[in-house]
Amino acid sequence: MANRIKLGILGSTNGTDLQAIFDTTSIGELDAKVNVVLSNRKNAYILERAKNHNVPAIFISHKGKTKTEFDSEMTTILKSHNVELVLLIGFMRILSADFCNTWRDRLLNVHPSLLPKYAGGMDTNVHEKVLKNGETETGCTIHFVTDEVDGGPILVQKKCSVEPDETVETLKTKVQKLEGRAFIEAIKLISRRDAKNAKKL
């Protein structure tokens, strides 16, 4: 287990996708370890999920700090926990270019649509647009994060159908189930990439 990839999580909401990662690592289907969870919201349930799995859960206030100062503080904490791959799970802040460059190729986000469609939207806002536009298919995208919002290279996409009687809530639930699976697939892809690179050294 020495080669388990070490994950750092940034989240502002419930962390449903984090639970999928915990569940998969606990049964040995994912060779990864969550080393720390950070949130900019003190009462975000994602911090409780971390505590329930004995993972350091840290609240960082952004009040009175510039974006660069806040992001630099996050980087310091992530590095102190030996994080190798950072996942954005419902993280409701736009990251600075410096942060994106520091974690280049080691920073993944999940977006609740099939990018490039509905780039820039968040959460239920995206599902509302999918329904309004009469889409018959949607899904989620795991992509590398760059300083262009939702514009980084795509790593994994999962699709689902949009039924005629679909609501925003049913669609959100359906897409969230895909998100956990997509993250797990993405982590495995990164682990394989790192293992290949290590062999070349």
Q: How far is residue 62's CA from residue 134's CA, in Å, rounded to a whole number?
A: 38
Give the Cα separation of 71 and 158 in Å (integer). 30
d(CA 139, CA 149): 18
Q: Which residues touch 195 (CB under 8 Å, ≥6 apart)?
A: 3
Q: Give the C-alpha separation, 77 to 37, whole Å.
A: 10
Catalytic positions are: 111
Phi, psi of 165 (to 5 degrees): -100, 15
